[in-house]
Chain A
Amino acid sequence: MRILIVDDVGFMRSFLSRMVEKLQHTAVVADSGSTALEMLKNDSTIRVVLTDLIMRDVDGVQLYRDALALERLTDQGSAALPQFILMTAARPGRNAQPRDVERINLAKKIGFFDVLYKPFGEAELGDILRKINAGSSDDTVAEDTLTRQAADIMRQVIATNDPATVQKFLARVGTDLKKMDDLASQLRRTSVQKTLSFGET
């Protein structure tokens, strides 16, 4: 997998790149959130973003929010948003400020795949990347572009962290869900009828 490492400390970028490469993945690096956004925009093959929380320009959570608004186009249509992993040396209950704890909790809520506390080893990162890899190979079978786009939109709604927006979205989607449910039942009935008529012939 192609993995984008976002960290404003060169030493960590270098260390993490080697770790990623040792795990048989390809590492690309960005030294800031804005560079990372640019790379995400231009490189639709990036499958995972490993981002630091505390950086000089935007923090890791803001980077994720900004990335949600990106349109990543490929020849096959729009590319899915990569999976995001948050990294931080700010440990809740030890050296994290209340704001950091808030950001870490928000990250978990809005759709980050996982949070890694620095220092972490190759084994911990490897486990997470394996889970992502397994998940995304299932996705390619199960998800078409429309389903992926719907999932991205839902993540954007969650990322607003605004109960009123979520409420409005759910109310709006409720009607469509009912229609889709009716359609699914109709399809099931048709399929049963087809099977029965096949059995009769």
Chain B
Amino acid sequence: MRHVDLKRVRHSFGDAGPLFLEMVASFRSCSNDLVTRIEDALQARDWTELYSATHGLLEVIGVFSSGSVEDLAAEMANLAHDDPTGQSPQMLDSLKHSLSELDVELRSIARLLEPFLPHPPAPERGHFSKHVCDVPVESI
């Protein structure tokens, strides 16, 4: 495991295994949504939107990881007000790569845990907005 911080996961979820499974299942769609917001903001050079989206991503990542992927998101958030050296696009590529690795790791853990936990409840209506994470929770 490179990215998942089990200590962090225990801190975030305690003994709520089903909640962990549910959040893992929606992690990919939510992080993809935020990455799209970041890409659009970079293209439009909209620093306010970039800052808000990178912070959103930082929060989502922080639920599972305290390693390099969280540092990358934090670095992007710091660049978001101004990017004089034009580093953001390369940084975003690394971030996307790390995010997919994190997602793979999370799904492996979820697969191992799933047989031992009660089935996660379906998310209640209204928890996900129309613009962010409005994607049905897919099965693991």
* Inter-chain contact A18/B16, CB cutoff 8 Å: yes
Listed from nearest, the 5 A-B pairs whose CB atoms lie closest are A10-B133, A11-B30, A95-B74, A10-B128, A119-B62
CB distance from B14 to the nearest CB of A (A): 5
For chain B, residues 25 to 43, give those with C-beta under 8 angstroms from any C-beta of chain A. 26-27, 30, 34
Interface residue ranges, B against A (CB under 8 Å): 8, 11-12, 14, 16, 19, 22-23, 26-27, 30, 34, 49, 51-52, 55-56, 58-60, 62-63, 74-75, 77-78, 81, 123-124, 126-129, 131-134
* Inter-chain contact B59/A121, CB cutoff 8 Å: no
Tell me whether chain B's interface is mostly helix, strand or loop, or mixed. helix
For chain A, residues 82 to 119, give those with C-beta under 8 angstroms from any C-beta of chain B. 89-90, 94-95, 97, 118-119
Q: Which residue of B lies closest to A90 (CB)?
A: B55
Residues of B within 8 A of A51 (CB): none
Q: Which residue of A lies closest to B134 (CB)?
A: A10
* Inter-chain contact A31/B129, CB cutoff 8 Å: yes
Residues of B within 8 A of A89 (CB): 55, 58-59, 62
Between B11, B49, B129, the greatest number of chain A beta carbons within 10 A of the residue's beta carbon is seen for B129
* Inter-chain contact A119/B8, CB cutoff 8 Å: yes
* Inter-chain contact B127/A17, CB cutoff 8 Å: yes
Give CA–CA (A15, B133) in the complex, Å: 12
* Inter-chain contact A121/B14, CB cutoff 8 Å: yes
Residues of B within 8 A of A94 (CB): 74
Q: Which residue of A lies closest to B63 (CB)?
A: A119
Partner of A56, one of B11, B19, B52, B58: B52
